Amino acid sequence: MAGHDALGLGGGKEITLGVMGGGQLGRMFVHAAQRMGFFTAVLDPDPVSPAGRVSHHHIQTAYTDPEGLARLAAVSFAITTEFENVPAQALNQLAASRPVAPAGSAVAIAQDRAAEKAHFVTCGVPCAPYAVIETPEQLKAVDASLLPGILKTARMGYDGKGQVRVKTSAELAAAWADLKQVPCVLEKMLPLALECSVIVARGADGTCVNLPVQRNLHRDGILAVTEVYEGNLPPALVERAVAAAKSIADGVQYVGVLCVEFFVLEDGSLVVNEMAPRPHNSGHYSMDACDVSQFDLQVRTLAGLPLTQPRQHSPSIMLNLLGDIWPEGGVPPWEKVLALPGTHLHLYGKLKASKGRKMGHLNITGASTHRVRTTALEAARLLGIEAF
């Protein structure tokens, strides 16, 4: 990666950062890059993709299209991705001529739950007991101690998709059949107390910084609420989670922003759930509550700029805004929500609201945790979001 001097920021030279994917994470990356003076290029097949509509260049092709990839490489100084299911081979093709962060090899691990679990074990980070199921023989050999469990497709699962809870061997067999016998991972169900996540940013020089640990609430497999403030989690747990996330990043010489999601068990122990090789929904609060956001960190890792430890200056709660809260033919009561102190609305430029679709998020900041929680609960009430 080039350093700050090589970029010549403000020197009249057009420096373009590229991103594979045109969703909301790409849109927020584009905005962060543009604030720093970079030009941006987005490769996404959707003509009205959120990121493509605000970028300097929108290359409207499939992610594996050789001509589109060549065009992205031609205009870009360096290239990143905004979603983990981008074809790893496309990233590898781009890396032949341009710096790519994260690398295709790291993204490939995150795309396959079996490879991901093996990586966690190699890094010495505990995960739930599991079994890989790719053949009928492996299905028959599943240890009964793993039941009840959650059967997850090894690939292409996100936001609760491709997951089935099973209690018995018969239910397991039926669920695998329903999933068309694709490669899966069976995870033992554990007594969960809560969920949390850590976002780290690692540079090519090995420098690694982290955002504060986020306490998360999921509903129907989709993140609903993130709370980040002093005392949201026990200090010893925070320390273990940060160390584990950095170990996972170091284990693949990761470059870029990485989110690692954890389960906290009822006995206080910590187990890793999964990793996302990109900025994450749970880090959106950093846009308004920290001096350096997760998207600023993504720009810095991609451009080879210095990484500084982010500082959270305000307690914060993020509410995920799904299409469910959009009334038929109308919009949510933004005028009432934005009348509340410390509210920051971020909409993603999506043209159609639908159930479960991420349309935006609301960050709430304030001088005290009590004030933030009070405001967040009132905002949730106004929007028809279940209290937390």
Known binding residues for ATP: 113, 152, 157-163, 187-190, 195, 218, 273-274
* CA atoms of 159 and 140, how far apart (whole Å): 28
Alpha helices in the chain (DSSP H): 4-7, 24-35, 66-75, 88-95, 104-110, 113-122, 136-140, 169-178, 235-250, 286-289, 294-303, 334-337, 369-383
Please report the sign of the dihedral spanned by the C-alpha atoms of residue 261, residue 152, residue 161, residue 81. Answer: positive
Where do the DSSP E strands lie in the chain?
16-20, 39-43, 57-59, 78-81, 130-133, 149-153, 163-166, 184-188, 192-202, 208-210, 214-219, 222-228, 256-265, 270-276, 316-322, 343-347, 358-365
* CA atoms of 52 and 287, how far apart (whole Å): 21
State the pairing for strand pair 16-20/39-43: parallel
Shortest CA distance to 72 belongs to which of 52, 54, 53, 50? 52
* CA atoms of 56 and 328, how far apart (whole Å): 34
- Report residue 81 as tokens: 């991705």
Q: Is residue 368 classed as helix, strand or coil in its secondary structure?
A: coil
Do residues 377 and 385 make contact, with C-beta atoms less than 8 angstroms apart?
no
* CA atoms of 370 and 379, how far apart (whole Å): 14
Burial zone of 173 (CB within 10 Å; 0-12 exposed, 13-18 middle, 19+ buried): middle
Residue 194 Cα distances to 89, 146, 281, angstroms: 36, 21, 17
Residues that constitute the known binding site = 113, 152, 157-163, 187-190, 195, 218, 273-274
